[in-house]
A and B are shown apart, each in its own frame.
Chain A
Amino acid sequence: MHPAALAEAAAFAGVDAVAVCDHNSAENVGAVERAAAAKGVAVVPGMEITSAEEVHIVGLLPDLESALALQAKIYRHLPGRNDEKAFGMQVIANEFEEVLGFNEHLLSGATTLSVEAVVDAIHRVDGLAVASHVDREGFGIIGQLGMIPPGLPLDALEVSRRTSLPAARAAYAPRGEFPIVCASDAHEPKDVGKAATFALLGRPTVPELRRAFAERDGRFILGGGRPMEDLALHILDIAENSIEAGAGAVEIDLLEDPAADSLVIEVRDDGPGMSPDLVAQAQDPFFTTRTTRKVGMGLSLLAEAARTAGGEFAIDSKPGHGTRVRASFRHSHIDRAPVGDIETTLMVLMAGNADLNIRFRHSIGSKVFALDSREISAGDLPSRLTRMRELIRRGEEELQVQSPRSKVQGPKS
């Protein structure tokens, strides 16, 4: 554990907050909080607890004090001492990269607490209990127990990077039984931000997340995915560029034609357009006019992804005429990036830009699902988000049902 390196990685990944969830302990949370504060990244204290049945449950905790209280309880129920040769050193560090000590508890072991007792312990300190990586067999609740025990008061389910949100919803919460979140499950700084959850919150805190899980007071879980990998999040990135440049309307096309082995994404805006110099610069990985992230790699990464998958990338833009970004791919190419969760794209765009006109079109072969945000202009933001989500889910489901794909591209799709 490297609090300073973790904070740096989080800032670079451009996330607003990280939850620090060491196995069965929270010794390093304070140091990460201090290191991250200097980088403008919020920290949610957390802990990934191993139940007696070897199920991993993440506790997201309101503050350091509750994290340490939970830690004390976990230590009381955690047998064994660490063996550094077998399991590595369990470092306790501060934000200045100084090692303060080594944790002697067997943090990689299992507590003697049942999964019900773990969830209860988390709730007693006003935390949120999230079942970790339910899509993984090892240490996942479904893998270990065969099911989610009926009545277990989990606050959310988490899926790993291997599983897209649409697939996760269909498999684990088809009737919305639980909110589903994504996380990187980073065990090293380089993996921070590889998957993320998008939420509409007042601040990145546990009480706010609790409201978002329950969709109360206008707080929402908007979705999630793998930034800079999922095409849905590349589309989000491009649309956000458009908005920052002053666009009031964005048209998004996701055109799949498995028969022609083609996948095209196109984003058009009515913004001010770009000069030829700016168009060239926009594809430079080190150029950005955005102030939210240090390096604006989005467009160059997308261009690379298109070329890798046997496709092309182009930006058409003229000052005063708006901008069109187009990326094409061979649909069946083994390295073609997954589409990810287009619902997330549209929800995040609406949540962050109340007046934005979004026109979305998704086609598979000759079947089309189209959505215009002007149809959803009545009511407050939460009701518009709910309405749009209904329309997207229904539309996407009909689209998929009508068009059985000739090939299934791995588990990610």
Chain B
Amino acid sequence: MKKKDFFSTLKKTAEGKPSADFDKSFWDRFDQEFNPKVKKHWWEELNLSQLALMPAGAAVAIILMVNVYQKIDFGLDDDKMLSIGAIQHEEMLQHMDMLKEMENLDLTEQEWKYLLEGKI
């Protein structure tokens, strides 16, 4: 038997094999240290679908405010109108699903005028 044979036989019998996820684990560690992902700015991490709800939410708030200022039409006194406003506001907060329904709000010029100026 040649020396090389002894060593190669020894290698066959004694060498170990790396575990299945060894390479992945190594390159994960490598990337973590040498290729860290660039941290996103806070505005890049914002969910755009949430941003889309903001105009709808604003519209709801305006409707509620207009209702408060339309108290004469309802014939209610200041205290009752304030109570109604508070209740409506509370409902808005409690039922955020409503905002989703308002997402596709498509108001006409007249409706905007009513909302903003209280008259048609």
Q: Answer yes or no: do A and B interact.
A: no
B residues whose Cβ falls under 8 Å from a Cβ of A: none
- List residues of A whose CB falls within 8 A of some B CB: none
